[in-house]
Amino acid sequence: MTTKEKRAAEDTKQPPVRRRDKERTRREILEIAFAEFAENGLAGGNTDAIAARANVTKRLIFYYFNTKEELFTAVLEMAYAKMRIAEQDLHLEALEPEAAIRRLAEFTFDFDQANPEYVRLVTIENIHRGRHIRASKKLKEMTRPIVSQIAAVLDRGVGAGVIRPGIDPVELHMSLNALCFFSVANRHTFEAQFAADMSSQKAKAQRRVEIADLLWRYVRNDQGAAKSAASKS
Amino acid sequence: MTTKEKRAAEDTKQPPVRRRDKERTRREILEIAFAEFAENGLAGGNTDAIAARANVTKRLIFYYFNTKEELFTAVLEMAYAKMRIAEQDLHLEALEPEAAIRRLAEFTFDFDQANPEYVRLVTIENIHRGRHIRASKKLKEMTRPIVSQIAAVLDRGVGAGVIRPGIDPVELHMSLNALCFFSVANRHTFEAQFAADMSSQKAKAQRRVEIADLLWRYVRNDQGAAKSAASKS
DNA sequence: GATATAATTATCCCGTTGGATAATTATAAT
DNA sequence: ATTATAATTATCCAACGGGATAATTATATC
């Protein structure tokens, strides 16, 4: 019976369910640590809690990651890698310039909304003045192809005469990120101060198009006859 | 000699230099606590350190503020009050709509740049999901007249036909804050990822006009002949 | 089946830190 | 001057938490 179940489980996964699995253990610790740090920050993040939630002894954390700081760095590396992968689903090449810009804006907005823990983690790293991201060789080598994607869209748009020349893709990316990031990161204080709604589905949907609009109005060429689709409520 | 100096000191301040001064002690603790929390966060902020830097016994902190959390809340209240006061120097009434919008943008940008500790504190409060700002009666009652100032500018601009109708002043304030806040709050990770410069005087000056531009392009009326001064490098 | 290796556990440790207890003393009111 | 009040200090404490030591055991290799 027990043996039967065991065998069944073993059949599912090719390498028989090993109690000792370096990769799996590492990954599970990382996953839990991500949640823990995103929730409570670096100082607030508790290694005892991580160990408990990951079903490992605390010692294992230090066995694999040496110190809490290094664990945090590893978490950051994982988070950024995931984001990088997500950005690859973003295909702007096939779209008209305006559609591409709007797609870009909505994609970024959706990503931040869907991954508040990521937003929190980045925020926390900034509180620490980016010292982990700066110290991580892996993170420094990790390129973010999204900027070249943006650059390509801008170039195409300028060529077609619908986007004005001289826009720096990094600056554009920064503006977009600022707008989307803020909607998640600063939600609580902003809502409290201005009795604004940034949490309901309706408010988010509105904000989403608002940001796309903002971005498009910023890049579009208004010299001569700018035939734009930017009209809404 | 000593008496002389003492007397001199007493002459300077009307109420003779009191060793026991409720108000002064409270204020000094708050000031140091502000720096400490902005630097190290709520969990990372150390009451021993605050006591030492403020030249008081730790007990005094709890005597006046009961708990660390309440001290943090008091710090928040002070910070927001200061910001509110700063906003009163912003006189948009006398300016043409476009000038007013640009002034607003630059003022906000400058404030965040000049007060990174404030930016950090707000960030930290958001990491804690705004639970202190929400719990503070004082903060809930503290209005932020800046929104009505913005609303007034928008109204005037719409009346003059230079600003398009339908813009929500709170949304505009949010967008502007997002852009300015990000430039300070997310500087470290953004610089690390995109090898961008957000710290040099030159980069800041550029970003400042860029944001003003962005905002103006967003609100200006482009129906009919929009005579705008929005041209730059 | 014996052995070596490395993944994992059980336990302990000690510096840190919010906060509590109780004594002290400057100041204002009488 | 005396007294009452309240601001301030001196000490202590117990829980927490990062990390270290050493023992254990599953697994791969021979």
Task: Work out the percent of chain B whose per-residue pLDDT is above 90.
Answer: 83
Q: Taking a contact as any Cβ pair under 8 Å apart, which residues of chain B between 180 and 219 contact chain A?
A: 181-183, 185-194, 196, 198, 207, 210-211, 213-214, 217-218
Domain membership of residue B6 (yes or no) is no
CATH number of the CATH domain containing B131: 1.10.357.10
Domain membership of residue A1 (yes or no) is no
Q: Do B193 and A133 touch (CB under 8 A)?
A: yes
pLDDT band at residue B223, thresholds of 50, 70 and 90?
A: confident
pLDDT band at residue B224, thresholds of 50, 70 and 90?
A: low
Domain membership of residue B3 (yes or no) is no
Measured between CA atoms, the residue of chain A closest to residue B186 is: A126
Q: Are residues A38 and A96 in the same domain?
A: no
Q: What are phi and psi of A163, to 5 degrees?
A: -120, 140
Residue B228: its pLDDT value, please? 42
Where is the domain boundary, A66, A88, A122? A66
Q: Are residues A43 and A95 in the same domain?
A: no
Across the range A72-90, mean pLDDT stands at 95
Q: Are residues A218 and A116 in the same domain?
A: yes
Nearest nucleotide (CA of A48 to C1'): D17
Q: Are residues B50 and B132 in the same domain?
A: no
Domain membership of residue B29 (yes or no) is yes
Domain membership of residue A230 (yes or no) is no
SS3 per residue for A101-169: HHHHHHHHHHHHHHCHHHHHHHHHHHHCCCHHHHHCHHHHHCCCCHHHHHHHHHHHHHHHCCECCCCCH
pLDDT band at residue B100, thresholds of 50, 70 and 90?
A: very high
The answer to whether B130 contacts chain A (CB < 8 Å) is yes
Q: Are residues A104 and A151 in the same domain?
A: yes
Across the range B217-228, mean pLDDT stands at 73
Cα gap A184→A199, rounded to integer Å: 9
Report pLDDT digits (tens) over A88-145: 989 999 999 999 999 999 999 999 999 999 999 999 999 999 999 999 999 988 988 9
Residues in chain B: 233
How many Å apart are B129 CA and C20 C1'? 30
Neighbours of B79 (CB within 10 A): 21
Q: Which of A164-178, B3-17, B180-194 has the lowest average pLDDT?
A: B3-17
C-alpha distances in Å from residue A227, one per residue of A231, B215, B221 = 11, 21, 15
CB B201 within 8 A of CB B195: no
pLDDT band at residue A224, thresholds of 50, 70 and 90?
A: low
Across the range A47-55, mean pLDDT stands at 97
pLDDT of residue B163 exceeding 50, the answer is yes
pLDDT of residue A233 exceeding 70, the answer is no
Task: Work out the percent of chain B whose per-residue pLDDT is above 70.
Answer: 88
Domain membership of residue B145 (yes or no) is yes
Q: Are residues B44 and B85 in the same domain?
A: no
Domain membership of residue A128 (yes or no) is yes
- The domain of A209 spans 76-222
| HSE-up of residue B218 (Cα within 13 Å, Cβ side) | 24
pLDDT of residue A12 exceeding 70, the answer is no
Q: Are residues A54 and A165 in the same domain?
A: no
How many Å apart are A60 CA and D21 C1'? 14
Q: Are residues A82 and A48 in the same domain?
A: no
Across the range A218-233, mean pLDDT stands at 61
Q: Are residues B53 and B161 in the same domain?
A: no
Where is the domain boundary, B42, B66, B90? B66
Domain membership of residue A85 (yes or no) is yes
CB B43 within 8 A of CB B52: no
Q: Are residues B53 and B143 in the same domain?
A: no
Q: Are residues A112 and A51 in the same domain?
A: no
CB < 8 Å to A198, chain B: 174
Report pLDDT digits (tens) over B130-158: 999 999 999 988 988 999 999 999 999 99
CB < 8 Å to A124, chain B: 127
Report pLDDT digits (tens) over A208-220: 999 999 999 999 9
Residue B14: its pLDDT value, please? 34
CB A16 within 8 A of CB A10: yes
Cα gap A88→A138, rounded to integer Å: 19
CB B125 within 8 A of CB B76: yes
Task: Work out the percent of chain A whose per-residue pLDDT is above 70.
Answer: 88
How many Å apart are A87 CA and C8 C1'? 38
C-alpha distances in Å from residue B80, one per residue of A139, A189, B30, B119, B175 = 36, 11, 13, 11, 19
Q: Are residues A207 and A105 in the same domain?
A: yes
CATH number of the CATH domain containing A58: 1.10.10.60
When divided into structural domains, chain B yields a total of 2
Residue nearest to nucleotide D25 (CA to C1'): A20
